[in-house]
Amino acid sequence: MNQRPSFLLDGAEVPFEPGQTVMQAALAAGRYIPHLCYHPEFTPHGSCKLCTARVNGRLMAACTTPAGIATEVESETEELNDLRRTLVQMLFAEGNHFCPSCEKSGNCVLQALGYDLGVMTAGFRHLFPDRPVDASHPEILLDFNRCILCELCVRAAREVDGKHVFSLAGRGLGKHLIVNAESGRLVDTDVKVTDKAVEVCPVGVILRKRVGFATPIGARRYDQSPISAQALADAPRPLERNHD
């Protein structure tokens, strides 16, 4: 068999199927490329740039680059991990990420990436933006202080829930998450606590009320194993099915 097309990722052969991106093929083959705004269930859009890799010598976002154009991909290099560290630092400095009081702490993707990449400080000047919390909804809290603008909730609402609960407004550093209501309040939207968009937030912006801090420190998701390991465990493996 093995006539499937493939590319080299850090020297190891990664097979792919037509239509797959470099990220999809890598994860399916059990190879981790750090990522933040990519989620296997939604259309990739490549905004966080954490997954930047050298594809045939050119720097590209692995999550949006078609595997078909790749022959050689470099990801685990000091240069690229340096870049990733700086991007994580930028996100920490941009928002108000006060981990000690955040109920997402321990289950937060941004935090887990920081751990895995060895980010010890945001380094840059903290911007300390003023972002009010929206507690209007009886079951869901929105704490925009922690928003990293990954648009996962926007995509989940659109692609899975068939709604437009979340969207983006403003531009540049003023870009921010909004909800689909003239009042600007979540309670005035058609959001349901069971929506995919509510569950998908990688950080602590969209939170179900009254369920926080249920898991003790030490037993939370990324207390147990690093995100690089967990991302692989979660990755869809369509190739394996085809194998047998």
Q: How far is the CB of 12 from other proteins (least distance, A)?
A: 23
Nearer to other proteins, 11 or 162 (CB): 162
The 10 Å CB-count burial string (b at 16+, else e) for 56-85 is eeeebbbbbbbbeebeebbbeeeebeeebb
Question: For residue 223, which amino acid is it?
Answer: D
H-run or E-run covering 191: none
C-beta of 100: minimal distance to other proteins in Å?
Answer: 4
Please state whether beta strands 52-55 and 58-61 pair in parallel, antiparallel, or not at all (unpaired).
antiparallel
Residues near other proteins, by CB under 8 A:
45-50, 52, 59, 61, 64, 66, 69, 83, 86-87, 90-94, 96-102, 105-106, 111, 114-116, 118, 120-131, 148-149, 164, 166-175, 178-182, 184, 217, 223, 225-226
Nearer to other proteins, 6 or 86 (CB): 86
Looking at beta carbons only, is 7 or 239 nearer to other proteins?
A: 7
CB of 194 to other proteins, least distance (A): 20
CA triplet 122, 127, 133: central angle to 5 degrees? 105
β-strand pairing of 58-61 with 72-74: unpaired
Instruction: Name the minimum Å distance from CB 183 to other proteins.
Output: 8
